[in-house]
Amino acid sequence: MAQLLLPVDRTDWVVPPTSLSPYYNPKFNKVVFPAAYLQPPVFDFQMPTAFLYGSIGYVMGHELTHAFDWSGSKTDHLGTTVPQWFSGTAATAFNDSAKCFQTQYNGVRAYPSSNSSSSGFQVDGELTLSENIADAGGVALAHLAYRTRYSSIADDPSYLPGHSNTQLMLLGVGQGLTHCALSSTQWVKNQVETDTHAPGAIRGTVPLMNFPAFASEFNCPKGSAMNPEQRCMLWTTNMSNQSFTSGFSWSGSASGAAGTTSSDTRGVNSNIANLLLAHIFVMVLHVSFKV
């Protein structure tokens, strides 16, 4: 209670360094990675750099993406509550793109590891919407960061026979998402009913299905499970100018003309995201964190 009368301490963490859950705090506009999380097997210096960009890099990109979703759009750079900084057209387009994710995940079922005869449990696309969008952003940012920093060797053979460095990076994304979990029937049932995160097996596949570069890197046949005809996309990357944008696209212009395709890209946000991600990678890849 005594702290209520004190100035806000912007360096304070809401979790101890032993916590295993990184997070984005919109009130402080900061991403926090507790020391305990940056330990093997989640973050292991013995693993190839490409894999680390896929595993821990995905998580960093995921948390950064939260700064540019509905929650992040209601706070400024200091975390102060402000009128939503999305423009009217951007807000409409964001919502339309989000509906695609909600519908897609509503059609997904999660299965326990130990019961092959189970009919599975339907994922709640509305409950998990924010995290599913952040997963998509995390994949795109991790891929952009690796391809940008290691462009000269990104297509070279990796430590994993038969795979390029970029392919290894994308496999790292799958590992980072799933955490190689074995889940009981009751655990999966409880997760789909109460957790804002989809089960690990879903997070390890659907975001990669929605990411065109995955299908391109692994030469997945068009129409196959990992290269579907229809994708849900909100965050996009452009390798030619090394940018990360919210490429909202929708039918109809601001005046409502049917059949017109428009887009609202937040270039400033893209630059901020790229800068933050670059700084985080420099910090994490060169400093060994110990509890």
How many other CB atoms are found less than 10 A from the CB of residue 34? Answer: 19
Residues assigned a catalytic role: 63, 135
C-alpha to C-alpha distance for 14 and 29, rounded to whole angstroms? 13
3 state DSSP class of 64: helix
By the 8 A CB rule, do 123 and 135 touch?
Answer: no
C-alpha to C-alpha distance for 118 and 111, rounded to whole angstroms? 7
Beta partners for residue 75, in sequence order: 81
The sign one gets for the Cα dihedral 115, 54, 287, 278 is: negative
User: Which helix or strand (DSSP H or E) is residue 263 part of?
Assistant: strand 261-264
Output b/e per residue, 226-254; b: 16+ Cβ within 10 A.
ebeeeebbbbbbeeeeebbbbbbebebee
3 state DSSP class of 70: coil
Phi, psi of 238 (to 5 degrees): -125, 105
By the 8 A CB rule, do 52 and 285 touch?
Answer: yes
3 state DSSP class of 97: helix
Residue 182 is classified by DSSP as -
C-alpha to C-alpha distance for 219 and 210, rounded to whole angstroms? 15
pLDDT tens string for the chain (291 positions)? 777 788 878 788 788 889 888 999 888 888 888 888 888 878 888 899 999 999 988 998 899 889 888 778 888 888 888 887 877 888 888 888 899 999 999 999 998 877 666 788 999 999 999 999 999 999 998 998 899 889 999 999 999 999 999 999 999 998 877 777 888 889 999 999 999 999 988 999 999 999 999 999 999 999 999 999 999 988 766 655 555 555 443 222 222 222 222 333 333 344 444 544 554 444 444 333 332
Q: So what's the pLDDT on residue 79?
A: 83
C-alpha to C-alpha distance for 147 and 281, rounded to whole angstroms? 13
Q: Quick one: residue 256, left, alpha or beta (phi over 0 = left, psi -120 to 50 = alpha)? A: left
Phi, psi of 245 (to 5 degrees): -130, 155
Q: So what's the pLDDT on residue 42?
A: 80
**Residues whose CB is less than 8 angstroms from the CB of residue 109 and which lie 6 or more positions away in sequence, other chains included:** 119, 120, 121, 122, 123
Q: So what's the pLDDT on residue 170?
A: 94
Provide the CATH number for the domain formed by 33-78+85-286 in this structure.
Answer: 3.40.390.10
By the 8 A CB rule, do 53 and 35 touch?
Answer: no
**Residues whose CB is less than 8 angstroms from the CB of residue 245 and which lie 6 or more positions away in sequence, other chains included:** 235, 236, 237, 238, 265, 266, 267, 269, 270
C-alpha to C-alpha distance for 224 and 221, rounded to whole angstroms? 6
This model's pTM is above 0.85: no
C-alpha to C-alpha distance for 48 and 20, rounded to whole angstroms? 22
Tokens of 48: 């190839």
Residue-range domain boundaries for the chain: 33-78+85-286
Q: So what's the pLDDT on residue 189?
A: 92
Q: So what's the pLDDT on residue 175?
A: 82
Length of the chain: 291
Beta partners for residue 235, in sequence order: 246
C-alpha to C-alpha distance for 163 and 174, rounded to whole angstroms? 15
